[in-house]
Amino acid sequence: MFNRRDMLQGLAVGTGAAWGLSSSWKSLEAATTSGGGPKRIVFFLQNQGFDPATCIPAGMSSSGSLAKAKLPEPIEALEPYKERLHILNGLHGTHTSPSHSAFFGALGGYRGGDGVPPSAATIDYELSKTLPQTLLPHLCIGMDSIENMTTKPTIATLSASGAGQPIFMYSNPNHLYQLLFGGISTGDIRLQHEASSNVFNQIEQLAAAKGRSLPGAEQQRYGQYVAGFREVNGLRDRLDSVADQLRKFAPKIDDRYKKPKFETDWHDLLLDLGIASLTSGITNTLTIGSGRGEIFGAWKGLGIEQQGHNLGHMAQPDNPIWIKIRQYNSRMLVRMMEALDSVPEGSGTMMDNTLIVYTSNNADKQHTNGANWPVMLLGNCGGIFKTGCFTQLDGKRPLNALYTTLLRVAGQNVDRFNMTEQLARKFDSGTGPLKEVLA
């Protein structure tokens, strides 16, 4: 196992002077060896809703300990990790108007809709600015059918850096591997990485030159286009400069990349890449969209022939199809926790400083009004969050209150997230963090 502190010292020596970020890397090293809040946060959103009956132990109708409770079959993989689990029921998102999906509103805590652009930054992006600095502050990955992931390898429906500024999810593991680890590869992967890097550099230069001859309004639009390529090119250069460190965490290439038998092969690879991005220090904020924030998605690799919209019209409790999907999610959560537990950090492990937020982009079910939005939290971040328990809320506080809590523990002194006082008078009975999740 590699100690994360040693790795970050290597990163600081190798790259700090070149980027003018030596003080930032010193801060990052200090942050990983001291307490005071989460060092990284993962958001895992499953489409089609998260029915509370698939996560609340039988017989539990009020708040209490999970110690003697048996977790429902859909999340039974988490049974050995109950002491790290907090199940929340009774938050609401009625103001997001979810229906088929709240889209950007699920992580933004505002009104969303199909084809509706984000009205503000989402919580994952806001946290990525507050958490300890990394090479790529925020990474989004999306899981869908093979057809969708192939024809639409990027899609933006869940995360945003601001009003009208969506963040794309990576859905083709070949593309994501190229971006994150192409610089340390050999053979064809290395050649493809170098070729695409050259193309991106040329596009950036051509776009910049073209933009200077355009009218003012068009120059601004082109400027955003150029900035996007500059960001990608800059990331490639930064990752290439820390190649020796990345080799310790890069996933192994196998036939599933080029010849997946089922879409779940790519789902598993995307998860591996997401985990590697965390353990290697590439990112501190990971967003996973199973179904990519839409009403689609497929799990033929689990023996499920039904896919897409029809899955949302099936009751989730005691449904063998949804049991398989939720069990698959739970195994992914376990894989993530085990991987983070395997990397020492400070006096503990990376998982000791990580929070995983599992929920849906569509509250409790398809065609929902968002009146109940179940959430599972995994990890206590050094004792900051309550774990090993179930909490039943009264339905009067919105999802925004949870997001406010996350910003608070990450160091931002805020009382609300994406909710005006006028809106809060109608949709929030309190202010500040959600005290029920804090130890």
Q: What does the pLDDT look like over 265-302, one tens digit per residue?
A: 999 999 999 999 999 999 999 999 999 999 999 999 99
Strand order in the sheet with 389-392: 64-65, 389-392, 85-89, 375-378, 354-360, 40-46, 285-290, 138-143, 165-170, 154-162
> Is pLDDT above 90 for 183?
no
The answer to whether residues 25 and 16 touch, using CB atoms and an 8 Å cutoff, is: yes
Rounded distance between C-alpha atoms, residue 316 and residue 52, angstroms: 9
Q: Lowest-confidence range among 14-23, 276-285, 303-312, 362-371?
A: 14-23
Cα angle for residues 410, 83, 393 (degrees, 5° grid): 65
Mean pLDDT across the stretch 34-54?
89
Summary mean pLDDT of the chain: 85
Mean pLDDT across the stretch 397-425?
97
**C-alpha to C-alpha distances, 306 to 155, 217, 298, 302, nearest whole angstrom:** 22, 47, 7, 11
Domain boundaries along the sequence of the chain: 38-179+253-437, 186-250
Mean pLDDT across the stretch 335-360?
97
pTM: 0.85
The pLDDT value given to residue 96: 96
> Is pLDDT above 90 for 126?
yes
231: confidence class by pLDDT, cuts 50, 70, 90: low
The pLDDT value given to residue 181: 87
- 128-180 pLDDT per residue, tens: 999 998 988 899 999 999 999 999 999 999 999 999 999 999 999 999 998 88
The pLDDT value given to residue 205: 57
The pLDDT value given to residue 212: 57
DSSP E strands, 163-284:
165-170
Number of H helices, E strands in the chain: 13, 12
The pLDDT value given to residue 187: 57
The pLDDT value given to residue 377: 98
H helix intervals, 319-379: 320-341
- Rounded to 5 degrees, φ, ψ at 146 are -55, -40
Q: Lowest-confidence range among 64-78, 219-233, 257-271?
A: 219-233
The pLDDT value given to residue 232: 61
Fold of 38-179+253-437: Alkaline Phosphatase, subunit A (3.40.720)
